[in-house]
Amino acid sequence: MSHPAPASAKPDITYETFSEIELRTADVIGAEYFRGKPNLILLSVDLGYEQTQMIVGKGLPDLYEPADIIGRQVIWMANLKPKKIMGGMSKGMIVAVGDNRVDGLVVPERRADPGARVQ
């Protein structure tokens, strides 16, 4: 059974464009509300070859308390250009499911070494 493309479907891209996205496994080693705001979480992750952080909003705080995320393994977009958010630097992005809010995290079926390439 096929479903029609959503109205917000993006245009097709080439394999070369897609191959520029660097997805890696990351272990969440820290999480806390960013500057005490319950709608933003500062995640610290271990990519095996470096530790970095990002600021997450858009529904993740509605699904998870910071303590519930620590120890989880997630898929991380490692080569996203850093962005300043409310005075803090966000240096990556976790892959999640949802349109305008986070409905869940995309996670490996089996635990992998931190920093393993996702293909």
Q: What is the pLDDT of residue 69?
A: 93
Distance CA 59, CA 39 (A): 8
Structural domain containing residue 98: 21-105
Give the tokens for residue 18.
């897609």
CB proximity list for 32: less than 8 A, separation 6 or greater: 41, 42, 66
Contacts of 84 (CB under 8 A, 6+ apart): 90
Note down pLDDT in tens along the chain; length 119 residues: 666 666 667 899 999 999 999 999 999 999 999 888 888 899 999 999 999 888 887 778 888 899 999 999 999 999 988 888 777 778 888 898 887 778 889 999 999 999 999 98
Let me know if residue 115 belongs to a domain. Answer: no
Angstrom distance (rounded) from CA 116 to CA 4 = 34
Asked whether residue 8 is assigned to any structural domain, the reply reads: no
Has residue 81 been placed in a domain? Answer: yes
Q: Establish if 101 belongs to a structural domain.
A: yes
Residue 14 in any domain: the answer is no
Q: Cα–chain-centroid distance for residue 10?
A: 20
Give the CATH number for residue 63: 2.40.50.140
Burial 12-22 (b: 16+ CB within 10 A, else e): eeeeeeeeeee
* Total number of domains constituting the chain: 1
Identify whether 11 is part of a domain. no
